[in-house]
Chains A and B, each alone.
Chain A
Amino acid sequence: MEFILAKYNYWIYIFLMMIGFYAMIAKKNLVKKIIGMNVFQTAVFLFYISISKVTGGTAPIVWEYARQYDNPLPHVLILTAIVVSVSTTAVALALISRIYESYGHIEEDKILSQQK
């Protein structure tokens, strides 16, 4: 029981990540894949943020009453990763919009049948 209480955060992130991963590989709709991608990446951000948590810690901003701070480094790393995720999503959506213009569909099956 203590084991579960100590580590539930990791299991939540794994569950979320698998939802996103499944959507990314199994869905045929291009936009749904991107939604899956976002869930997938957000789960990893959640993992990083949960590394940084220290029990009893406050936000990592210097404050005279603080006894303990959270670990600031994962926040920094994940800020970078969030920006990367946003950029990837933007490029992906731009691509989808072009794909829709030239194929008339955003379903992978129909696009592939047009390519053959």
Chain B
Amino acid sequence: MAQHLPILPIILPLFAAVLIPLFGRIRVQYAWFFSVGATGFSFLCSSWLLSQVMTGRRVRYFLGNWEPPWGIEYVVDYLSGFVLVIISFMAFVVTVYSWKSVEKEIPKEKVGLFYAVFMLLVTGLLGIVITGDIFNLYVFLEISALSGYVLIAMGGKREALMASYNYLILGTIGATFILLGIGYLYMVTGSLNMADLATLLPPLYENKVVLTGFAFLVVGLCIKVALFPFHIWLPNAYTYAPSVVGTFMAATATKVSAYALVRIMFTVFSPGFDFKMVPVTEILFYLGMAAMLVGPVLAISQTDIRRMLAYSSVGQIGYIVLGISLGNQTGMVGGLVHLLNHALMKGGLFLVVGAIIYKTGITQISELKGMGKRMPLSMAAFTVSALSMIGVPLTVGFVSKWYLGVGALQAGKWIALPIILLSSLLTAVYFWRIIENVYFKGAQGQESGRQREEGPPGMVVPTLGVASLCLVFGVFAFIPVSIAELAAQMLLGKT
């Protein structure tokens, strides 16, 4: 059975998605049980895969037992194992957390189908991460995108529909660009397998078809990543989505696209191509820095918590792209560790906001007064995640910012350093507004504000778990960093 391990993390959520519409009609609770079981086992399989990869061998799996250039293969190496564990872990946490929140926000008849589509989203994201075939990547990208559109539209307000529609239009432009880029690469090489393309492409680097195809792949993925000029779909989508969906997508969806960008840039194409022959890393470097400034600045002016967090995501994506574009190992480690860190931090923040919405219905920052007394555990988790976002030492945020800063210095790009500091400062400003409201401004004349109104344990335990991981990986930073170092070495071709 161990040889079939790579397929299991993907087909378990897939089977859950197919079985939920069948069994969910008997009892709607089955939907939740199936989802928790599928994502839990998926997480276990992913961790097992990562542990196998860490012993130093790439795990490959041929679907239908057709050898690679002809068939589709799954490849688990340091990078995909790392991202696979992050995504499946967040999926598991969010699913455990979801029951009460979904029960409140989604009409009862649709809860079963909601979980089915949610599992399809998980399937799609995991499928993107593990595949070694460029067209298979497109198919799973579309599964995740399509289920993402619908899940966002399930947010109760009518603005959610419009947010979903805008996401659909931009997402389709992005996906079609990716499809076109794949077609261009296929046209001049005749192959769709990533490893095979990597060997066939180098003699063709001067070819105009390859250059155009590369440009379209990168632009398409940048739309999916929501890098700065293409971020317009993101804030509305995360704000109006049901809180569970907002949490999961904020924690994982853009990370997976960033992973796909890394794959295309460093596995299909080579670092030499990215850094010497086309100005793509230069462009990404400046766009990343622009995102790091624009995101926090826009976040400061928001009054809705979720919208503020969504703009903060725009800024954080900038960090990841910055790390990718630096082109040295330290910067890449910073970018990859930030992938994990942002999933944990933003996941934690959105989980707390979801609990607040579930318990009190509050969405505005100014209404949060006295929340520190009403929901002490959740707000403690919020504070830890927020400190981590700012980059306080001993939290995960510090680790990745440190690596990014050192990487920028090594690359001789001094300009990135003040930008990182300024961006952290702006992040501190917008989180301070919340922390101030929560702890230092009591609710005036409200005696009821005194009593504890902590969310149900099913919500608080996952939240605290994610927040404590922010501290654990901040103190024991060597765990993610060692994996990310191996991944960066593999990507930049130094092993």
Contacts and interface: CB of A to CB of B under 8 A. Distances in A.
Interface string A38-56: 0011001001100100000
Contact of B158 (A37, A88, A103): A103
Interface string B165-189: 1001100110110011001001100
A48 B169 CA distance: 22
A59 interface: no
Given A44-B180, A80-B139, A95-B153, A102 B169 contact: no
A74 B180 contact: no
A77 to B, nearest CB: 6
A87 interface: yes
**Most A C-beta atoms less than 10 A away, residue of B164, B168, B179, B186:** B179
**Most B C-beta atoms less than 10 A away, residue of A24, A48, A84:** A84
A19 interface: no
A74 B186 CA distance: 9
Interface of A: 21, 24-25, 30, 33, 37, 40-41, 44, 47-48, 51, 73-74, 77, 80-81, 84, 87-88, 91-92, 95-96, 98-99, 102-103, 111, 115
15 contacts: A24-B172, A30-B165, A37-B172, A40-B172, A47-B183, A51-B186, A77-B135, A80-B135, A80-B139, A84-B175, A88-B146, A91-B146, A91-B149, A103-B162, A115-B162
Contacts of A95: 149, 153, 161, 164-165, 168
Contacts of B186: 51, 73-74, 77
A25 B186 CA distance: 28
A96 B168 CA distance: 11
Interface residues of B, number: 26
B158 A51 contact: no
Given A41-B176, A91-B150, A95-B149, A24 B169 contact: yes
A8 to B, nearest CB: 16
Contacts of A41: 172, 176
Contacts of B142: 84, 87-88
Contacts of A88: 142, 146, 168, 172
Given A44-B183, A48-B183, A88-B168, A99 B162 contact: yes
A81 B146 CA distance: 13
Given A51-B183, A99-B161, A24 B173 contact: yes
A111 B158 CA distance: 10
Interface of B: 135, 138-139, 142, 146, 149-150, 153, 158-159, 161-162, 164-165, 168-169, 172-173, 175-176, 179-180, 183, 186-187, 192
Contacts of B135: 77, 80
A37 B173 CA distance: 8
Contact of A40 (B162, B176, B183, B187): B176
Considering the complex of A and B, which 7 residue pairs feature the smallest CB-CB distances, nearest first? A102-B158, A84-B142, A99-B161, A95-B165, A98-B161, A51-B187, A44-B180
Given A88-B146, A91-B146, A99 B165 contact: yes
A11 to B, nearest CB: 14
A13 to B, nearest CB: 10
B168 A91 contact: yes
A92 B145 CA distance: 12
Contacts of A74: 183, 186
A77 B180 CA distance: 12
A111 B236 CA distance: 14
A44 B179 contact: yes
Contacts of B162: 99, 103, 111, 115
A99 to B, nearest CB: 5
B208 to A, nearest CB: 12
A92 B168 contact: yes
B222 to A, nearest CB: 16
A48 B180 CA distance: 9
B153 A44 contact: no
B484 to A, nearest CB: 33
Given A41-B176, A98-B161, 11 more contacts: A24-B173, A25-B173, A37-B172, A44-B183, A74-B183, A74-B186, A77-B183, A80-B135, A80-B139, A95-B149, A115-B162
Contacts of B192: 77
Given A44-B179, A47-B180, A96 B165 contact: yes
